[in-house]
Structure 1
């Protein structure tokens, strides 16, 4: 069963948000949990209503943590040894559009059914299927531009300058990759990479297919449906909101969305100079706790 988001199908909202990277969370984790629940993954709650899921072999674990210690709402780790350290880890913060997390868990479910060679597949530069830079191809196809903000970072930025993805080269601290934003990959949206509205991180050995599932969803030019009154569900004053028309009316096309977005494109943003902050450091959180 496919759980890919269909923003033009069963609508849940009264406006379209475009570009979709300026949408925010839908406020429910159910769509992103569904692909794994369909495989019979174990689901448990704690007394604070945090959700914990484990694959049948305990080699992949997911935490949905609305009452966690920081803004890392989604944490997903994979293991070669169920009692050893994680091989890779991914984090989505509490403002990431739910559709992007759902895209990840949908492909993760497929990879898990294929076996460890799929969900533990290490990125290998220069290979046809596992080259890490294949993760940015969907973004480049939609006009995102390559940048080199530092000698050790390759970045791509959305045409409106309000989203980006970074790849950091060189040796990284494996523990810091799992607990802070100092990870191999970082995807973000907002006015600045240093103070993003939402972000997602992925550690060094995260399979390319899982990363590409997210970037393909981010790059999709179709808008996302949201409720206008729920201001947390889009990036206020930056997103373009278009009313969802009644049945029988014509919904905005991707071309309509691109034209509107182009007309609102801001001037180039100044280079950021604020140091990165850790997701484990509460004083540096970009917004109020959930």
Structure 2
């Protein structure tokens, strides 16, 4: 593919890999195949995605969906019309590349089986303590499920944009971002060429379930039409944090900061009443964090003044009630318990300096 850019090559190969995996795992049933004189072609039906039937063209990393049909009968009829002389039932024989990949996997399968004992175990935890997961996979799944958002890649291939068909909601995902830096930016506009109405950011370590909730809300399309100039009053702040209050989170007021903290103090939501008065409406007025405090967070979500209260309420509901998973290594909890139950060291005797370890 010498005529393709690096981004286009990656896109084609990624789609080919998805088709291969769907066939391998039984999600895509191949009815027939043929050789058109240049490459392998096939026709099949997805057992998910609404049962869509597809016409496949190419092999290995060049395989792609060339056409779609409403039913298997329609697909087979069209396939037979073109390839009747070379048509064979079922999937095509494995290519040399596919055979080599199977042989390579078989070597790693043995190693994987031996390492099962040391593999981390998933632990159910409050959602704000969950693992970050695969943010890129989250975005890919979101785009696959919501055709109203169009995917754009930047020239450097470091950033992906998901833009709503109305051009008034834009999601920016910066790939390979450090845990504490901004990896997601969501911005809403009154018109495709107007200033931002509101903006929300999330760092690279934000837990996957929290991001999933955010993307689900954006897909629903509610709350985009927040108008600049609508006063943010106590009623709106209360609506945004109602789930936290109902869950009994500790509510404090410290000067300009209004905070809600979980029972264990591991996460919190903060409203900056001072910033809310600033003429620059895109400043971070809301902060959601997990960790020792907002000044030393494990991950952070920030939102500007006019971020819809319905979106913030959804995030509050997730923080207050949802759970996620976190990988733990076998034996780690046992060692911790042993350390906790070990007898206390004798007190230092008078006149003997206490040893210090670094």
TM-score, normalising length: structure 1: 0.63
Matches within 5 A, 1:1-290: 14-31=121-138, 34-35=141-142, 37-40=144-147, 41-46=149-154, 47-67=156-176, 71-111=181-221, 118-122=223-227, 131-149=236-254, 151-170=255-274, 171-172=277-278, 174=280, 177=283, 183-220=284-321, 222-228=322-328
Residue aligned with 1:199, SS: strand
Residue aligned with 1:193, SS: coil
CA displacement 1:36-61 (0-9 Å, x = unmatched): 54332110223334211101121100
Q: Where is the strand percentage greater, Structure 1 or Structure 2?
A: 2
Residue aligned with 1:25, SS: coil
Deviation at 1:20, TM superposition (A): 2.4
Residue aligned with 2:328, SS: coil
Any unmatched runs of 5+ in structure 2? 1-119, 335-358
CA contact (8 A) 1:50 1:67 kept: no
From the superposition, tell whether residues 174 and 224 of structure 1 become closer, same or farther in structure 2 (CA, over 3 Å). Answer: same
Residue aligned with 1:137, SS: helix
Equivalent-residue separation in structure 2 for 1:217 and 1:33 (angstroms):
22
Deviation at 1:67, TM superposition (A): 4.5
From the superposition, tell whether residues 124 and 131 of structure 1 become closer, same or farther in structure 2 (CA, over 3 Å). Answer: farther
Deviation at 1:215, TM superposition (A): 1.2
Residue aligned with 2:135, SS: coil
CA contact (8 A) 1:24 1:198 kept: no
RMSD value over aligned CA atoms? Answer: 2.8
CA contact (8 A) 2:199 2:282 kept: no
CA contact (8 A) 1:36 1:109 kept: no
CA contact (8 A) 2:127 2:209 kept: no
Equivalent-residue separation in structure 2 for 1:165 and 1:37 (angstroms):
32
Equivalent-residue separation in structure 2 for 1:25 and 1:174 (angstroms):
31
Q: Where is the helix percentage greater, Structure 1 or Structure 2?
A: 2
Equivalent-residue separation in structure 2 for 1:144 and 1:29 (angstroms):
32
Equivalent-residue separation in structure 2 for 1:35 and 1:21 (angstroms):
21
From the superposition, tell whether residues 211 and 45 of structure 1 become closer, same or farther in structure 2 (CA, over 3 Å). Answer: same
Residue aligned with 1:143, SS: coil
Equivalent-residue separation in structure 2 for 1:36 and 1:78 (angstroms):
18
Say which one has the larger Rg.
Answer: 2
Equivalent-residue separation in structure 1 for 2:168 and 2:271 (angstroms):
26
Any unmatched runs of 5+ in structure 1? 1-12, 113-117, 178-182, 230-236, 243-290
Equivalent-residue separation in structure 1 for 2:144 and 2:167 (angstroms):
14
CA displacement 1:80-108 (0-9 Å, x = unmatched): 12222211000011111111111111111
